[in-house]
Amino acid sequence: MTSIFLGVTRAWESPIYPGYSRVWQDTFSGLPGASPDLRNWNVITGDLGVNNELQFYTGSSANVHVSGGGTLKLVPWKDSSHLKGWTSGRIESKYTFTPLDGSITRIEAYIMLGDGESSHKQGIWPAFWMLGDSMRSGVAWPTCGEIDIMETINGALTGYGSIHCDICAGGITGTARIPDHNWHLWRLEIDRRDIDYQNQAITWYMDESQFHQVTGTQIGSNKVWAVLAQSPLYIILNVAVGGAWPGYPNSNTLDGYNSYQEVAYVAHYVSS
């Protein structure tokens, strides 16, 4: 993977894989400080009122911008002008996709986390994840379905992959040991090659090594599996601050580029 990203003068192209067709990608091209391509993304603003988080999401270039070198940067900042003391960045794809019957659907991103020491990241919660598009038309969580491709908390070198649904609101989760805060490939595959939903699978990878899998048999409900693996999804990238899971920042927590998330590309593939 490293050879793909030599140089920072142009957008970084997502790879071409034998046996897969690339259906969609964003390589976050643009001038330094610009917004991500608004044809592809909604830049989320406001206090979403979820998980007891602290951040107020803004569209400011301080929180959300492309680097000019073919990456997206989502940056949390301490900001006393907001009630809970933090701002951050979150984007959600306008692009939606439905995993195809008879194929493997692959969603991946190449991500770097802020290179600050873990001891200075208490309460920082970057994520790359998806929600069922039905949420946009009023279906409540967790009925809409959620698939978390990568989450980390508090700077720990552990990546989490999870699903949340009607029968597992608390999540079915696997973990990956992350070597460092540098660039790593995070991938999710939804395998619908078998006609029987019980033999279908959702599989997580870091740097092409599998670390988690959930099958239709584990879910045990055709209806719920259809929400997770057979219905439209959209992609989310964000950095949350605080909340019931990571806990809250402390006096050692650093904001800014110590704790940001940088993304080289996001891409959607389908097996040939």
- At 128-187, the pLDDT tens digits run 999 999 999 999 999 999 999 999 999 999 999 999 999 999 999 999 999 999 999 999
In a domain, 47, yes or no: yes
Specify whether the CB–CB gap between 198 and 217 falls below 8 A.
yes
CATH number at residue 57: 2.60.120.200
Specify whether the CB–CB gap between 152 and 182 falls below 8 A.
no
In a domain, 156, yes or no: yes
Residue-range definition of the domain harbouring residue 248:
26-93+109-161+175-185+230-271
In a domain, 5, yes or no: no
If we measure between CA atoms, which residue out of 263, 265, 102 comes closest to residue 190?
102
Q: How would you label 41-65 residue by residue, b for 16+ Cβ within 10 Å and e otherwise?
A: bbbbbeeeeeeebbbbbbbbebbbb
In a domain, 15, yes or no: no
Which backbone phi and psi does 66 adopt, to 5 degrees?
A: -90, 155
205-238 per-position pLDDT tens digit = 999 999 999 999 999 999 999 999 999 999 999 9
| Calpha distance 253→268 (Å, rounded) | 34
6 pLDDT above the threshold of 80: no
For the chain, the distance separating the N- and C-terminal CA atoms, rounded to the nearest angstrom, is 22
pLDDT for res 239: 98
In a domain, 45, yes or no: yes
Look up the pTM and report it: 0.95
Other beta carbons within 10 angstroms of residue 212's beta carbon come to: 20
In a domain, 52, yes or no: yes
If we measure between CA atoms, which residue out of 24, 20, 14, 15 comes closest to residue 234?
24
In a domain, 204, yes or no: no
Query: How many domains are contained in the chain?
Result: 1
